[in-house]
Amino acid sequence: MHQAQQWPEAELVLDARARLGEGPVWDEIAGVLAWVDILAPAIHVYRPSDGSDLLIPLPSPVGAVALRERGGFVLALEDGFWLRDADGTLRFLAPVEADDPSIRMNDGGVDPAGRFYCGTMAYDERPGVAALYRLEPDGRVDRLFGGATISNGIDWSPDGRSCWYIDTPTLGVDRFDYDHETGALTNRRRVITIEPGQGSPDGLTVDAEGGVWVAFWGGWCVRRYLPDGTRDRVVQVPAAQVTSCAFGGELLDELYITTAWNGLSASDREAQPHAGGLFRTRPGVRGVRARRFGG
Ligand code: ZN
């Protein structure tokens, strides 16, 4: 049995006190980390060179943010896909279940062809009503599948041939075959199984060697798995609700980690004063540049 390696605990870089910090993405051109507080709702733009964190308020809960090829962001807000231009203009692009206020968009990611995939969840987390959607660069939206509960982390392997995906309550990470031409996800199978008591899998990112980094909600850590599902490394985080992670820094050798205080009791918050903070570690492997939405 391969013994999981213990890494030093992640360091707090920003005491942001985000209610539900999520979805970090490194912009290598600007040298900043964009991330969201889903429930604030707002985008944060953290600049490590001077420690600043710009807050951009949004009109409704934001599940995910991604970079665009032409600058600015593509956003998954409560009612669908939006664009935020570099000059700050916010534009509605396409509805996603906009007539159902019990459902909001959640985690997302950009594929190797510049399409934006984003899932949904019900606010009350009722089972089976979540789905995964895909936004094409021309603005068309396709529903890929339903039957999920909390559609969460999604990312692609560095060879561009497979896609990793989490539906949180299933306590595992699935792998799809990915078709670059069509964006189709096929041949879903369970590769990473999480033992009970470790927390719930939330966001994920794939590194340059194909390792899969999974954030554990309620698990105080991020774990790395090899592509065959073997546990490899663990980075402890001094906050229980670890939501997502992304590589950043000039050399893409730093792992940024988001957390949340939402739902913690007063005594839990006292015990975790930095819950909702942004954390960072050097995990001994590099990431890949964030892919940009093509539209
Ligand atoms: Zn999430």
pLDDT in tens, 86-135: 999 999 999 999 999 999 999 999 999 999 999 999 999 999 999 999 99
What are the extents of the domains in the chain? 5-281
Cα distance between residue 231 and residue 144, in whole Å: 29
Mean pLDDT of the chain: 96
Which strands, in side-by-side order, build the sheet including 242-248? 11-14, 278-281, 254-259, 242-248
* Residue 118 CA to ligand 1 centre (angstroms): 11
Bridge pairing between strands 231-236 and 5-7: parallel
* Residue 244 CA to ligand 1 centre (angstroms): 6
Determine the distance from the C-alpha atom of residue 121 to the mean position of all C-alpha atoms in its chain, rounded to a whole number.
Answer: 14
* Residue 260 CA to ligand 1 centre (angstroms): 10
* Residue 74 CA to ligand 1 centre (angstroms): 17
As a dihedral over the C-alpha atoms of residue 257, residue 262, residue 265, residue 269, rounded to 10 degrees, the angle is 40
Q: Which CATH number fits domain 5-281: 2.40.128.120, 3.30.420.40, 2.120.10.30, 3.30.450.370?
A: 2.120.10.30
* Residue 68 CA to ligand 1 centre (angstroms): 21
Please give the positions annotated as active site: 202
Neighbours of 128 (CB within 10 A): 10
* Token couple for 223: 């774990």
Helices (H), the chain: 266-271
Cα distance between residue 109 and residue 275, in whole Å: 24
Cα distance between residue 10 and residue 13, in whole Å: 9
Residue 1: per-residue pLDDT: 43
pLDDT digits (tens, 9 = 90+) for 56-80: 999 999 999 999 999 999 999 999 9
Cα distance between residue 39 and residue 286, in whole Å: 30
